[in-house]
Structure formats: structure tokens, C-alpha cells
């Protein structure tokens, strides 16, 4: 899909091409983030993060907790019953808003620690000093069984092996 503004001599159309392409943001993101933000507004007040500067680490950690819950197979936050992805979107929206308003306290621990650890891990894998974790055949996406016992380096680039939880879940289109 390309920019919906047609080629024309209309000056407004031509100027619009230079603006941020908001048409690329799916309405699902806006609606989902709004649900997460509404939950936060109930607890702390709307736009509370604009009143007093906030710490970067607080929102990064909240996002990480929601990601961890998703990885553990939990879809809805226990306190709000709102999908974790919506809370993550809300956290990202707050960080972006605070970056834009200049009221984000950057308390991150600076340094390349994670990058260095990831690079060292890759070197150990490549030199055979570390064995890649085994793949559990019960959690291989249908159609990808033939790749389940291959080491990660030998997987075809155009194939994606997706972890599927063992419990069957049905998802509502409304999340």
C-alpha cells in the first residue's frame, strides 16, 4: 500500500506528502492504547505524566512486566482484565509523549551490557562452546515439524518456526 495522496498539482496535496504519514497507524493501535491509557487515567489521573516528570525506567519496567506475562501465556492483566499488548502500547505512548514534552527523566543505566552479552553468546554458539537449546516438538507450528530438530543456524531463512502454546486458545477479535 502506498501513500493515498494521488499525484496532482494541488498545493495542499503536495504539502501533505511531507507530513507524518498518520494513515500508517492502524486504528487498532489507537483503540488498544486508549484502553490501556484509560485504565491508567482511572488509577492516576489522565495525562498525569505531563504534570510531573517521569522516570524512563518506570515505564520500561512496566512494559517488560507485561511482555513477561505474555511470554508466560497470560493475555489479560489480572488487575484490569485488559490485554497486555494494550498496556504495552499505552506505556510506549506515554514514553513518546514525555519525550516530546521534555519531561522524561532518563535514569537508564547506560552502557552496552546487553549488546556485549548477546555478541558473546553468538560467538559461543558459532564456535560450538555452547549448544543451542533443544526444540520441544510439542510446541512447533504446524508445517514446521521438519525443522524442529535442526540447530538454529541451519534453519532456512525464509521459514519461521513459531512457538505455539500447548493449550488451545480461542481469541476474541476484540482482544
Confidence (pLDDT) at 70: 97
Confidence (pLDDT) at 174: 47
Render each residue's pLDDT in the chain as its tens digit; 175 residues: 555 556 667 888 888 888 999 999 999 999 999 999 999 999 999 999 999 999 999 999 999 999 999 999 999 999 999 999 999 999 999 999 999 999 999 999 888 888 898 999 888 888 877 666 665 555 555 555 555 555 555 544 444 444 444 454 444 444 4
Confidence (pLDDT) at 13: 82
Is 79 part of any domain?
yes
Please give the tally of structural domains in the chain: 1
Is 155 part of any domain?
no
| DSSP annotation string for 112-155 | SHHHHHHHHHHHHHHHTSSPPPPP-GGGB-TT-GGGTTS-GGGS
Q: Residue with C-alpha cell 476484540?
A: 174
Confidence (pLDDT) at 148: 57
Is 65 part of any domain?
yes
Confidence (pLDDT) at 171: 44
Is 81 part of any domain?
yes
Is 116 part of any domain?
no
Is 40 part of any domain?
yes
Residue 48: which domain range? 32-105
Q: What angle do CA 45, 48, 54 make, to 5 degrees?
A: 140
Is 92 part of any domain?
yes
Confidence (pLDDT) at 84: 98
Tell me the torsion sign for CA atoms 113, 118, 123, 129. Answer: positive
Is 11 part of any domain?
no
Amino acid at each position: 500500500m502506498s501513500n493515498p495522496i494521488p499525484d496532482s498539482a494541488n498545493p495542499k496535496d503536495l504539502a501533505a506528502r511531507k507530513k507524518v504519514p498518520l494513515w500508517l497507524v492502524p486504528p487498532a493501535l489507537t483503540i488498544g492504547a486508549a484502553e490501556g491509557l484509560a485504565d491508567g487515567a482511572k488509577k492516576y489521573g489522565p495525562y498525569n505524566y505531563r504534570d510531573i516528570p517521569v522516570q524512563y525506567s518506570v515505564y520500561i519496567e512496566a512494559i517488560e512486566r507485561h511482555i513477561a506475562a505474555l511470554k508466560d501465556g497470560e493475555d489479560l492483566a489480572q488487575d484490569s482484565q485488559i490485554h497486555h499488548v494494550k498496556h504495552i502500547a499505552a506505556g510506549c505512548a506515554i514514553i513518546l509523549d514525555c519525550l516530546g514534552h521534555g519531561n522524561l527523566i532518563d535514569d537508564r543505566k547506560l552502557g552496552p551490557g546487553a549488546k556485549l552479552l548477546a555478541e558473546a553468546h553468538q560467538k559461543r554458539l558459532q564456535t560450538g562452546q555452547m549448544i543451542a537449546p533443544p526444540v520441544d516438538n510439542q510446541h512447533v507450528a504446524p508445517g514446521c515439524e521438519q525443522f524442529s530438530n535442526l540447530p538454529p543456524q541451519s534453519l532456512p531463512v525464509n521459514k519461521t518456526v513459531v512457538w505455539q502454546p500447548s493449550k488451545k486458545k480461542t481469541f476474541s477479535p476484540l482482544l
